[in-house]
Structure 1
Amino acid sequence: MENKLNIGVIFGGQSGEHEVSRVSAYNVLRVINQEKYNIVTIGITKKGKWYLYSGDHEKIKDGSWEQDSKNLIGDFSIFAHPEITKIDVFFPVLHGPMGEDGTIQGVFEMLNKPYIGCGVLSSAVGMDKVFSKIMFESVGIPTGNYRYFRKNDWKKDPEGKLEEMEKALGYPIFVKPANMGSSVGISKAHNREELIAAIEEAFIYDDKLIMEAFIKGREIECGVLDDGGMLCASIPGEVIPSKEFYDYEAKYSDTQDSKVVIPANISDEATEMIREYAVKAFEAIEGSGLSRVDFFLTEDGQILINEVNTLPGFTNISMYPKMWEATDICYSDLVDKIIASANRKRVTLP
């Protein structure tokens, strides 16, 4: 096929979600139509070193690509190397900080290259659990009760912060890094001792934390996709955690028996409201391309938004591709649509 697009798939990254990114990238590379696209793979190590990688995609999955020296090029300029300059569309399969937070999107903007997913602003807002909740509230999407503070606030008055959180939220309290995904660094505290430990754990990953009151409800997720310029919402799915909450291990470990139910067994009214809220949340952060939006459905039928994921997981067990498959878009077609929606907002100065 002539005039094939050159797609630059970037994987790995410096965040706590490095391993998830590798598995997601492996799955994307496994299904991407190589009759339509030429693929350039770019790996980023946990220490932030960039490599052009031309080896076996299986080695991306297990992390051994970094030892595949004969297929690595580490001495190159991202602005000048011919393998980079020929790329038509970047496909960052990166999760968490330094990949999903607007930083690498800014690099693509500097290169003046289209890229899949949200832009700099929407990526940054979507990654920050505090600012995203503020945006959701501004457009009338209900959220749960939450508070937040920074490391300096904690150092100045830890006792005061503990009392404030306990009074405002009550136990149990979810403690989360404000900028992290895949449930990395998240804990559920049932008392003050656990709350202190959870705060110290979360500060390993971020200098700003968000505290959320426990919500007794079902976990419902919904995909959003820009399909030919029209925003579409997938059939929602439900997550039934194998553990007390859907933490990193419950999400990704083969030894865990967390379940996903797609379509979610909820009323037609709840389904339509969740789909409507998902698109509304996507628009609130000025999203583009794709996102997965997560909700709680309480026993009394209240729908509360949890968060938006601007670059959701693409592993073989990830909810985003599974929900679209249930909405009659298979994995390979989904990748095609995501590439077609690549962010192409450009300003040409006179």
Structure 2
Amino acid sequence: MTKTKVGIIFGGKSAEHEVSLQSAKNIVEAMDRHKYDIVLIGIDKEGKWHVNDPSSYLINADDPKQIKLNRSNENVAIVPGATRNQFIHQSTYDQLDQLDVVFPIVHGTLGEDGSLQGMLRLANLPFVGPSVIGSSVCMDKDVAKRLLKEAGINVAKGLSFTRAKKHKIDYAEAVEYLGTPMFIKPANQGSSVGVSKVSTKGEFDKAIEDAFLYDRKLIIEENLNGREIECSVLGNDEPKASKLGEILPQTDFYSYESKYIDEKGAELAIPADLSDEDTKRMQRVAVEAFEALQCEGMARVDFFLTEDGEIYVNEVNTLPGFTKISMYPKLWEISGLPYKDLINRLIELALERYQQERNLKSTV
């Protein structure tokens, strides 16, 4: 049987670099080696691409706080427009073996914001997850929530400001409109990076400065009191929703450390203790949000469910974590799709979309 050659691209310059390393590790360990040949391409924090050996691509692989990319001496570049052998070794200009499909698991900036997806499209390579528009729209929380509202989906009330409009940010006006506490977030970050929950002007001013360290645009949102529910969505033209899970944070809110480093930072109720009616409503909204934001392949939809039964979409994550405590694969596991089969299905969906795109006319 001819094996499918899968390139796994991981790491990256974003604040979620270490999360990506953990995700890559889990994906590599789960992949069927009888079905796939794996090519590992690690991106370091300076943005250089390394071809890595599967036996030694990580340092401190089992410690989420100390995990690091083991940089190789084999750096690669990509050739846009090539129809085959799109990667070449920088030192020798030799071609890397042809990849059949790419599994990009670069979380955050330059990984799930459409940048990497656009480059892979230019390189004529099929890849897992949403394409350019779905990735870029979902990464920008301001734009995503505007589109969700247009689709009739509830989102938290909020304000957005670019760095150029920073002088217009007024604490008193924010309090009047949103109340306290409120959340301040970089518009284009994930995994709670740069997010602050604030109740005083001092906290507010510091949180504004912190958020602008990570992005040129921020959003200020009301605090929604409700249960934190998550749903995994899988598919292209006919997406399906998984069973639901609930986040039970043990800290003030579900922080970066709670999500990816501290296994005791939050309890996960899988499946969530919900009525059949609420479960079906949220699964329906998850698929509606997935389609409204032009997603393909996969996404994780995060909700708030308030005491009066209102459903609010908080975020749609197009490259969700695949760490050992990540919700996306766990929810499919309890929905009857084991981790290994989930990887297979994601690759099938990538190849399916690629074939559809190849069949489109490119000339008049």
Q: TM-score, with normalisation over the residues of structure 2?
A: 0.90
1:89-114 Cα offsets, whole Å, 9 max, x none, are 11001111100000000011100111
Provide the C-alpha distance between the structure 1 equivalents of 2:145 and 2:168, rounded to a whole number of angstroms. 25
Structure 2 equivalent of residue 66 of structure 1: 70
Structure 2 equivalent of residue 266 of structure 1: 274
Amino acid at match of 1:240: L
Structure 2 equivalent of residue 128 of structure 1: 140
Amino acid at match of 2:33: Q
1:83 is displaced (CA, Å) by: 5.7
1:150-195 Cα offsets, whole Å, 9 max, x none, are 11111x344xx32321221111010000000111000000111111
Provide the C-alpha distance between the structure 2 equivalents of 1:231 and 1:64, rounded to a whole number of angstroms. 35
Of 239-248 and 54-63, more deviation after overlay is shown by: 54-63
1:85 is displaced (CA, Å) by: 5.7
Provide the C-alpha distance between the structure 2 equivalents of 1:110 and 1:116, rounded to a whole number of angstroms. 15
Provide the C-alpha distance between the structure 1 equivalents of 2:143 and 2:272, rounded to a whole number of angstroms. 28
Counterpart contact for 1:29–1:57, Cα < 8 Å: no
1:200 aligns with 2:213: no
1:75 is displaced (CA, Å) by: 5.2
User: Which residue of the other structure, out of 322, 332, 342, is the alignment partner of 1:334?
Assistant: 342
1:60-83 Cα offsets, whole Å, 9 max, x none, are 63544435x4xx401544545266
Q: Percent identity?
A: 44
Amino acid at match of 2:304: F
1:308-345 Cα offsets, whole Å, 9 max, x none, are 00010000100000000010110000000001110412
Structure 1 equivalent of residue 129 of structure 2: 117
Structure 2 equivalent of residue 22 of structure 1: 21
* Structure number with higher helix proportion: 1
Q: Which of 1 and 2 has higher RCO (CA within 8 Å, sep 6+)? A: 1
Provide the C-alpha distance between the structure 2 equivalents of 1:236 and 1:174, rounded to a whole number of angstroms. 25
Q: How many residues align?
A: 342
- CA 1:193–1:64: 2 relative to 1, 3 Å: closer
Provide the C-alpha distance between the structure 2 equivalents of 1:185 and 1:314, rounded to a whole number of angstroms. 21
1:151 aligns with 2:163: yes
Structure 2 equivalent of residue 42 of structure 1: 41
RMSD: 1.7
Structure 1 equivalent of residue 324 of structure 2: 316
Q: TM-score, with normalisation over the residues of structure 1?
A: 0.93
SS of the residue corresponding to residue 243 of structure 1 reads: coil
SS of the residue corresponding to residue 227 of structure 2 reads: strand
Structure 1 equivalent of residue 362 of structure 2: 349
- CA 1:138–1:75: 2 relative to 1, 3 Å: closer
1:239 aligns with 2:247: yes
Alignment of 1:257-296 (within 5 A): 257-296=265-304
Provide the C-alpha distance between the structure 1 equivalents of 2:172 and 2:192, rounded to a whole number of angstroms. 25
User: Which residue of the other structure, out of 118, 138, 142, is the alignment partner of 2:150?
Assistant: 138
> Please, which runs of 5 or more residues in structure 2 have no aligned partner?
80-85, 89-93
Provide the C-alpha distance between the structure 1 equivalents of 2:190 and 2:228, rounded to a whole number of angstroms. 16
Of 338-347 and 231-240, more deviation after overlay is shown by: 338-347
- CA 1:348–1:34: 2 relative to 1, 3 Å: farther
1:186 aligns with 2:195: yes
1:84 is displaced (CA, Å) by: 4.4
Structure 1 equivalent of residue 52 of structure 2: 53
Provide the C-alpha distance between the structure 1 equivalents of 2:285 and 2:315, rounded to a whole number of angstroms. 11
Amino acid at match of 1:183: S
Counterpart contact for 1:55–1:65, Cα < 8 Å: no
> Please, which runs of 5 or more residues in structure 1 have no aligned partner?
none
Structure 1 equivalent of residue 91 of structure 2: none
